[in-house]
Amino acid sequence: MEGYAKVTRYCRNMRGYGPNPPDPQWPGGARVAVQFVVNYEEGGENCILHGDEASEAFLSEIVGAAAWPAMRHWNMESIYEYGARAGFWRLHRLFTQAQVPVTVFGVASALARAPEQVAAMQEAGWEIASHGLKWIDYRAHAQKDERRDLDEAVRLHTEVVGEAPTGLYLGRTSVNSVKLAIEQGGFAWLSDTYDDDLPYWLDHDGHGKPMRPQLVIPYTLDANDMRFATAQGFNSGDQFFAYLKDAFDTLYEEGRAGRPAMMSVGLHCRLVGRPGRVAALKRFIDYVKGHEKVWLPRRIDIARHWMEHHPYRAPDLVPSRMDEAAFVERFGGIFEHSAWIAERAFRLELGPAHDSAAGLHNALSRAFRSASGEERLGVLKAHPDLAGKLEGARRLTPESTREQASAGLDALTDEERARFTDLNTRYVQKFGFPFIIAVKDHTKNGILKAFETRIENSREEEFATACAEVERIAYLRLKDMLPS
């Protein structure tokens, strides 16, 4: 059709769980899971001593710092060293005394330069996940180079820690990072997303290529001490505490109302490990522990729980992943005897947002609405009369048969049938198309009343009403096939 765009699929998932997220069934009926992450990056940052081209410029006390090409930045290095020398131990004391387990996002090269810290993490029972090989920006890396670094990160991590990492958060990613991690195949969970309040399974790249199902546990950049080191961030511990408290209170109340979720808190040894900030973190930990029905897990604990209670299940029907023939075969009858609507909808920019009843209905309706008046009239004419000749001869489509039966139109008295026949005849003579109504929304008497009311409309009014009813019928049919 002229004016339709080239076939394309939109890879980003703007729907997620939609309006009905699952109940995570947290242990003990917890209303919220609060998960603390300690990022261990010190010794893995950009530095010419590490073979990098310039000094580090990210997440330090020097807000707005710039990289120094081919030079060491003594001040920047010493700020990172504070995290290893003092900040880590302050956080270690805080969490171990509070008996709150954490997940460490450990840069492999940084862990290799921190044997005492690694031993302390292990003694405390902390999960040590991978934070990549080096704390560098991968946005412009070639896939082969990024894959090489990921493989080396796992190798070095295993050598230093004594076991392979079960989780990964790279952080400064490229568009290929998550795909490469899934292809690597060794991670129970990934966290390089910020797109939900619950874990989810990722099984498709959005471009027609399936992937091994991968559990994703989203991370956070808002409930994160990194905002002490960014513009428009936290200026004091009080601001940090207030933000964390508001986030927790909101999620706790949502959990009380039956929608439990997860809160991640991101921390860095060189940032919140400073004396003027750690007090705010302690107040928040005490505040959280003062509430009942709160789960304080590591990320691996969340992963194991999700795998047990919400294991991966391949979806039965995913419109955006279907080829054209299968798509038209499955949805060509949603608009009565009008497969061309499905054909045109297939050419739109479909994606995960269209894999629900409401989403696919929108795409099909767009094709219907943008059609010519004659084409839409043809759709109206394709609909059968209510309780008319086709129904009597059992020649309705299966969908129409079920719909008319739901309102009792397949079991009319002689008087009722005569009344419908008269209204059908008068309506078609006046408007040139059959009376259309979403019968699932009405009783038999309600349909007759609407019939008698609408027959008095102008043709313009009734054409618009009939088109709206056609769309409503399509939506109800889709709801029987796809998640709402």
The residues annotated with a catalytic role in the active site are: 383
DSSP line for 25-53: --GGG-SEEEEEEEEE-TTSBS-GGGT-S
What sign for the dihedral angle of Cα 460, 464, 466, 470?
positive
Q: Which residues of 128-153 are buried (b: 16+ CB within 10 A; e: fewer)?
A: bbbbbbbbbebeebeeeebbebbeeb
Q: Which two tokens stand for residue 334?
A: 């949603």
Packing angle between helix 357-369 and helix 339-346, nearest 10 degrees? 100
Give the gyration radius of the chain's Cα atoms: 30
Distance CA 188, CA 169 (A): 12
CA distances to 168, 197, 201, 204, 470 from 211, rounded to whole Å, are 17, 23, 11, 5, 38
Q: Which two tokens stand for residue 471?
A: 């769309």
Residue type, 332: G
Packing angle between helix 459-479 and helix 398-406, nearest 10 degrees? 100
- Classified as helix, coil or strand, 270 is coil
Residue type, 426: R
- Classified as helix, coil or strand, 76 is helix
Degrees, nearest 5: CA angle 179-167-115 = 125
Distance CA 361, CA 474 (A): 7
Query: Which residue shows structure tokens 């090409």?
Result: 69
CA distances to 39, 176, 279 from 79, rounded to whole Å, are 15, 31, 20
Residue type, 118: V
Distance CA 202, CA 278 (A): 36
Q: Which two tokens stand for residue 309?
A: 């209670």
What's the helix, strand, coil split of the chain in %, to 5? Answer: 50, 10, 40
Degrees, nearest 5: CA angle 267-271-277 = 90
Q: Length of the chain in residues, anyone?
A: 484
CB 221 within 8 A of CB 39: no
